[in-house]
Chains A and B, each alone.
Chain A
Amino acid sequence: MDRRLDNGRLDGKVALVTGGTSGIGAGTVERLAAEGAKVIFTGSNAAAAEQLCAATGAQFRAHRVQDASAWPALMAAILAEHGRLDIAFANAGTEHGDASVEDIGIEGWDNVIAVNQTGVMLTVQHAIRAMKANPDGATGSIIINSSMNAHRAMGNFVAYSVSKAAVVALVKSAAVHCGNRGYKIRVNAVLPGVVETGIIRGQIENAPDPAAARAAYEGMSPLGRMGGVDEVAGLVAWLASDEARFVSGSEYVIDGATTAGMMGV
């Protein structure tokens, strides 16, 4: 595929990607950098981060999104070096400790809600505070990585399903708030279906019957395939760009029609 990324759509823009060391986050770091943005990404896997920095010229900062006290230092460092923030992709997420509503422990619940919900709120909060101080006025694009599970819940992942629905409401509240204050800061969500990330590939390989596991994932979409990391990154890059300058408060499903009908039916 010829993506013609040399059009410089994001030239001069500064972007923050949380959870950028793998999966959709890493794919988005690559895509935003390829379109001309200066990218700072966060996470905890320093070895993976080093490779991504070498490949893209992006910068890595070890940071946990749910750690409220660590946010001011992260943002101060970005603003000190780059002087502005134009794009924030609140991507960091987890399923660790999740289970059904009947079985989940409070630690698992607290962990998923802390990362997927509180972490996203903190990302949006600090992004708005930085963007409103941009030299050319309060401008920017914030994108949240929700999930198609915001619209169709999973019985065995209650905290994930709840948190992904919650951040869609967060997007709308933040978009309306920016409007109330007169900021030209746009806030939107992407809702991916099953995307073939390293984590999903690992789950397939470690399943008792990998072929059956792959078929089950691929069969969720009527297209008969999973989404690619680069496909989600393409949507995020579009929302980040001035092409989407009239888009705010929106939730864009990217799931190969999985939720246009009923999943697997």
Chain B
Amino acid sequence: MNDLGQDLGSRRLQGKVAFVSGGLRGIGLACVERFLAEGAEVVLSDLDAPDSALAGEVLGRLGQAASYVQANVTKEADWQRARDVVQSRHGKLHILVNNAGIDLTGPVEGLTMEGWRRIMDINVDGVFLGVKTFVPMLAEHGKEFRGGASIVNVSSIMGLVGYTDTSAYNASKGAVRLFTKSIAVEFAKKQMPIRANSLHPGFVVTPLLQEGFQRWVEKGAAAKAQDLVDAVAAQTPLGRLADPAELAAGVFFLASEDSAYMTGAELVMDGGWTAQ
């Protein structure tokens, strides 16, 4: 399924620099791979140590155009360090993908304050800090191409519709949706050359989804995770879940000059799930 970028090879991001948080797994990793296939240079962050097995395997495969910085999206000092790495290695940034996120499920009366704070910290504060940290650099270099620099904040279909036992995740992703619209209007009004759009993935086969489904199984929601996958596929008009590369195709579109007039928009990629 990972054929999208490779097939096209249009290299429409030649000369551009991108930053992707949560870049070692899932949709984030697929975005990194797609950007590289399109000719961009990429800095990716995640929680894993640089000498961890996963970071070593991924970075070894990605090659010289990719580099890694260990960063916790909830810590402003880590973002500043990430910015220093981008500055020293590339001196510019054109594309920012705020992708890192976690989920949390359970009845609202059973959620702990600690759990609530943690998901807001990562899913909402992490996006705010990424934008805050990189806006000056994006504003400076955005005028280098049509439409300006591009911020893509990864929300969710759960930022659009409510779902049982998902209140904290719903709230966090809803915040990402409207935060994105607000900064889009703000940058446009001030003639800052930065676009901002939100991505709303449906059900995507990622480690986050697989771990989440396993927790539902442990809570007795199904006999095995595959039953949940099958149920979601049956509820989706296109009849299946997505591959991360298919979401990366949307992020690439929002990062490319082809979407120059799109800002403050929502890219829903859910196989029709929220249309019904």
List chain A positions with a Cβ less than 8 A from chain B.
1, 3-4, 7, 9, 171-172, 175-176, 178-180, 182, 184, 186, 193, 221-224, 227-228, 231-232, 234-235, 237-238, 242-257, 259-261
Measured between beta carbons, the chain B residues less than 8 angstroms from A237 are 258
Q: Are A222 and B11 in contact (CB under 8 A)?
A: no
Of B250, B257, B265, the contact of A254 (CB 8 Å cutoff): B265
For A232, the closest partner residue in chain B by CB is: B261
- What would 20 A/B residue contacts be, using CB atoms closer than 8 Å? A4-B10, A4-B12, A171-B275, A175-B275, A176-B272, A221-B188, A223-B188, A227-B261, A228-B261, A235-B262, A238-B253, A243-B252, A244-B269, A248-B271, A249-B237, A250-B269, A250-B275, A257-B263, A260-B184, A261-B264
Measured between beta carbons, the chain A residues less than 8 angstroms from B237 are 175-176, 178-180, 248-249
For B191, the closest partner residue in chain A by CB is: A224
Instruction: Kindly state whether residue B77 has any CB partner on chain A within 8 Å.
Output: no
- Binary flags per residue of B1-29, CB closer than 8 Å to A gives 1, else 0: 00010001111100000000000000000
Of A172, A228, A234, the contact of B259 (CB 8 Å cutoff): A234
Query: Which among B189, B258, B272 has the highest number of chain A CB atoms within 10 Å?
Result: B272
Q: Are A249 and B265 in contact (CB under 8 A)?
A: no
Q: Are B10 and A254 in contact (CB under 8 A)?
A: no
Query: Which among A193, A232, A253 has the highest number of chain B CB atoms within 10 Å?
Result: A253
Q: Are B238 and A254 in contact (CB under 8 A)?
A: no
Closest approach, in angstroms, between the C-beta of A8 and any C-beta of chain B? 9
Measured between beta carbons, the chain B residues less than 8 angstroms from A232 are 261
Instruction: Kindly state whether residue B209 has any CB partner on chain A within 8 Å.
Output: no
Measured between beta carbons, the chain A residues less than 8 angstroms from B269 are 244, 246-247, 250
Measured between beta carbons, the chain A residues less than 8 angstroms from B270 are 246-247, 249-250
Measured between beta carbons, the chain A residues less than 8 angstroms from B64 are none
Q: How far is the CA of A228 from the CA of B260 in the complex (A)?
A: 9
The 9 closest A-B pairs by CB, nearest first: A179-B237, A249-B275, A260-B264, A257-B264, A222-B188, A249-B272, A234-B258, A172-B275, A260-B181
Closest approach, in angstroms, between the C-beta of B152 and any C-beta of chain A? 14
Question: Known interface pairs A4-B12, A260-B265. Does A247 touch B250 (Cβ–Cβ under 8 Å)?
Answer: yes
Measured between beta carbons, the chain A residues less than 8 angstroms from B226 are none
Of B189, B252, B266, B272, the contact of A175 (CB 8 Å cutoff): B272
Q: Are A1 and B264 in contact (CB under 8 A)?
A: no
Query: Which among A7, A9, A249 has the highest number of chain B CB atoms within 10 Å?
Result: A249
Contacts A4-B12, A222-B185, A228-B260 supplied; 6 other A-B pairs, CB < 8 Å: A172-B275, A179-B237, A222-B188, A244-B269, A246-B271, A256-B188
For A257, the closest partner residue in chain B by CB is: B264
Closest approach, in angstroms, between the C-beta of B178 and any C-beta of chain A? 9
Q: Are B238 and A246 in contact (CB under 8 A)?
A: yes
Interface size on B, residues (CB 8 A): 47
Question: Known interface pairs A7-B9, A172-B276. Does A1 touch B257 (Cβ–Cβ under 8 Å)?
Answer: yes
Question: Known interface pairs A222-B188, A231-B260. Does A245 touch B265 (Cβ–Cβ under 8 Å)?
Answer: no
Of A3, A9, A193, A255, the contact of B8 (CB 8 Å cutoff): A9
Q: Are B258 and A238 in contact (CB under 8 A)?
A: yes
For A195, the closest partner residue in chain B by CB is: B261
Instruction: Kindly state whether residue B239 has any CB partner on chain A within 8 Å.
Output: yes
Q: How far is the CA of A254 from the CA of B195 in the complex (A)?
A: 12
Measured between beta carbons, the chain A residues less than 8 angstroms from B264 are 253, 255-257, 259-261
Measured between beta carbons, the chain A residues less than 8 angstroms from B252 are 243
Measured between beta carbons, the chain B residues less than 8 angstroms from A254 are 259, 261-262, 265
Q: How far is the CA of A231 from the CA of B184 in the complex (A)?
A: 18
Q: Are A231 and B261 in contact (CB under 8 A)?
A: yes
Query: Which among A180, A238, A244, A248 has the highest number of chain B CB atoms within 10 Å?
Result: A248
Instruction: Kindly state whether residue B96 has any CB partner on chain A within 8 Å.
Output: no
For B146, the closest partner residue in chain A by CB is: A1
Measured between beta carbons, the chain A residues less than 8 angstroms from B257 are 1, 3
Instruction: Kindly state whether residue B99 has any CB partner on chain A within 8 Å.
Output: no
Q: How far is the CA of A176 from the CA of B235 in the complex (A)?
A: 10
Q: How far is the CA of A251 from the CA of B10 in the complex (A)?
A: 26
Measured between beta carbons, the chain B residues less than 8 angstroms from A193 are 261
For B247, the closest partner residue in chain A by CB is: A246
Measured between beta carbons, the chain A residues less than 8 angstroms from B4 are 242-243
Question: Known interface pairs A4-B10, A184-B238, A253-B266. Does A235 touch B259 (Cβ–Cβ under 8 Å)?
Answer: yes
For A261, the closest partner residue in chain B by CB is: B185
Instruction: Kindly state whether residue B267 has any CB partner on chain A within 8 Å.
Output: yes
Measured between beta carbons, the chain B residues less than 8 angstroms from A227 are 261
